[in-house]
Structure formats: C-alpha cells, structure tokens
Structure 1
Amino acid sequence: MKEKITGHSIQLFEKKGFSETSIQDIVDSLGVTKGTFYYYFSSKEELLMDIHLGYINELLVHQEQILNDRSKNCKQKLFEIVNMLITNIQRQGAAAKIFFREMKNLSSERLALIVPKRDQFRLNIEALINDGISKKEFRQDLNARIVTMGILGITNWSYQWFNPNGMVSDREVAEIFVEMILKGIQEN
C-alpha cells in the first residue's frame, strides 16, 4: 500500500503540484481512509521526502555501477550516465519533475539529507570529467565544474520536454547530447 500511495501521490503532485494536492486528494484517488495514509506517512512532507530519497538514491546506485565498470573508458561512462538520465524519464519522469520542482517544499532538516546526495551525483560526474582530462580523453583546457553543470543542465531539463514515446528514442537523445558535449556544435 505504501508504494500505491507513493505512486498516486507522484501522479497528483505532477498534475496539481505539491501545495495544491491535499492528503484527502491522495486518499480519495486510492479509495482509502486518511488513517491508511497516516499508517505509512506522518505528513505530506514526509511522503515528499520519501519520493525525493527514492529518486536520488536510485540514481546514485546506477551511477556508481557505471563509474565502477572498469571495462569502460571515461567517454563511455559519460555516455552511460547521460543515457541513464534520459532513459530514466520513461520510468521516473514524474518523480524527477517532483524532485526538481518541489524541493522547495521540504524543510531545512529534510533538505539537509537530500542536498548532499544531489551534490554527490554532481561531484561524481565532475570527477569523471577530471579523470577524462587526466587520461587525455577530454580536452585539457576544460573547466570540469562548468562542464558538469552544463551536462546536468541539459539532461535535467529534458524531463520537461522529452517524450519517450516520440519520434526520437531516449538512446538517440543521449547520443546527440554526448556528441554535442564531446564535439560541440561548431563545424570544423
């Protein structure tokens, strides 16, 4: 039931927003009582925190698997991370929107648990870029921090516009992004 509450809440939060969705809306969508909700969550904010933790923890686990794969070079790992973020839209797109849009509704105590995880994801990419620079897979004059922010900017914004059932596949979008990241858009 906890997963059902979370799933329905993600749908409602995506459509109406966190602030505009009441606990009554959530339980009505499930046909259960508020007592059922409060059995699993002490508040709507705790539910939001659960959504945030589920989303970022899953990304970190997959990112670590990619980074620890010794059979791939830095370019391949970068592609795999970008591809993971884009393919994740079909499964976790609504949760991602909530993660980015509704973070402002978490208390400072709860944010203190989420922000370090979000930062770790970013720092892992930055370390990968630095590793690629040191191994001469990437240009030596790159600012790894800015490149990392650019990568996260284009991939995270994709949750707003990318349709996994559209004319371009998630893998094709990831390939276009990585090609653009690695080679830029200037004609040689």
Structure 2
Amino acid sequence: MARTRASDFEEKQHGILLGAAAVFAEQGMEKASMAQIASQLNVSKALLYHYYPSKDDLIFAIIHTHLVELEACVAAAIDDALPPEDQLRVLAKIVLEKYRGADNAHKVQLVGVATLGEPRREEIREVERQIVRHFSRVLARINPALDNAERPLLMPVTMSLFGILNWAYMWFREGGVISREDYADLAMTLVLEGIQAVR
C-alpha cells in the first residue's frame, strides 16, 4: 500500500528548501553537504534524504520551485486590457516582490544550474523562457519595431530588463531609501523612457 503523505509535507518541504538555499548560498554548491544542511535544519539526514534523495535533487528543487512560483504569479497578472506600460510596471513589481526573502534561492539559481544534468537544466530553462516570454510580449506591444526579423532587438531589450531586476539583490536593502515598489517603478521608467528610442 502507498505511504500516506503527512499533512505538513509541503510545509516541511518549504522549510527544507529555505534552509538548504541558505547553506548553498553561504558554502557554495560543491562544499555544502547534505550533512551540513541536515545539521543547519536540525533534522536527521534520513529525513532530509526522504524528501530529497540527493544533493542534485535538492538544488533542482530550490531553483525549480523558485521559478515556477514566480512564473505562476507573473502569468496570473497578465491583463491585455491594461495599457502595456502599466502592465510592465505591474509585472516588474511582482518579480521584485517574489524576490523578497529569496536572495539565497536567487544565488543558488545563478550558480547551481550549471551543476545539474542536461535534462534538469532544460526543464529550468523552459520555465525561465516562459517568464521571459511574458515580458517580451508586453515590450513588443510598447514598441512593435523591436520584433523585427531584420534587426531583432526584442530579446536584447527583454534581457536588459531582467538584468536590471535580477541583480537588484546585490545592493537592495529592505528599509532603505527606496522600497521594492518604488524601485520597480524607477527601473521601468528607465526602460520605458529608453525603449521608444531603440531603433
């Protein structure tokens, strides 16, 4: 008979992913061990292995869970009735809000993908592509000339936007001179003011 899933299974999983991401972010993918992670979480290695049979499983779960949750939030906020400029600001605010408290997962994503096998890397890349497509469609509505086969600038502009958002964790501090929402507006103003000049 199949083993019944505990009622707090997802809560425990979430706690493991948060704690493991902190260890990986501090120690690095290679140095961090399952024993260190179990010790940090104050759980047995047996319990950790019950949820994640290998370190690769754990790294993949941190990155994939982080990205899938982000993509779901972005997708849910798509509203074609909104002016595209307003839509872009909404999506940027969602991304920065989902990054709140996720610096460790973000660091694991930046470094950990390369440690995984190709099938898992491709699975992660597909979620990343979905997120990028949400933004690129909005940017194409703002400036259709970006989506030009002779001079394809839509992807470079989209990835520049993600460069602005994704690296904010390096300097942004909660309670500082600017809030996440304010920074999202500021960053998208830079994009929106510049995008019309791109030819």
Distance 1:182 1:26, change over 3 A: same
Which residue identity is paired with 2:171? W
Identical residues among aligned pairs (%): 22
- 1:90 alignment partner, SS class: coil
Deviation at 1:35, TM superposition (A): 0.9
For 2:124 and 2:191, locate their aligned partners in 1 and report how far apart those are by CA, in whole Å.
27
Corresponding residue number in structure 2 for 1:105: 115
Q: Normalising to structure 1: TM-score of the pair?
A: 0.87
Q: SS where residue 91 of structure 1 aligns?
A: coil
Partner residue in 1 for 2:174: 164
2:60 is equivalent to residue 36 of structure 1: no
Partner Cα separation in structure 1 for residue 91 and residue 160 of structure 2:
14
Q: Residue 91 of structure 1: CA displacement?
A: 2.9
Q: How many residues align?
A: 181
Equivalent residues of 2:84, 2:141 under 8 A apart: yes
Corresponding residue of 1:175: 185
**Would the aligned equivalents of 2:74 and 2:95 in 1 still touch at CA under 8 Å?**
no
CA distance in 2, matches of 1:5, 1:61: 21
Q: Which residue of 2 aligns with 1:5?
A: 16
Matched, 1:47 2:58: yes
| Residues 10-159 of structure 1 aligned to structure 2 (within 5 Å) | 10-67=21-78, 69-134=79-144, 143-159=153-169
Runs of 4 or more off by more than 6 Å in structure 1? none
CA distance in 2, matches of 1:142, 1:107: 31
CA apart distance, 1:166: 1.7
Q: Secondary structure at the match of 1:38?
A: helix
Unmatched 5+ stretches in structure 2: 1-11, 195-199
Letter in 2 for 1:31: N
Q: How well do the aligned residues superpose, as a CA RMSD in angstroms?
A: 2.2
Gaps of 5+ in 1: none
> Which secondary structure does the structure 2 equivalent of 1:102 belong to?
helix
Larger proportion of helix: 1
TM-score for both structures, normalised by structure 2: 0.82
- Name the SS of the counterpart of 2:99 in structure 1: helix
Residue type of the partner of 2:17?
T
Q: Give the superposition deviation at 1:83.
A: 1.4
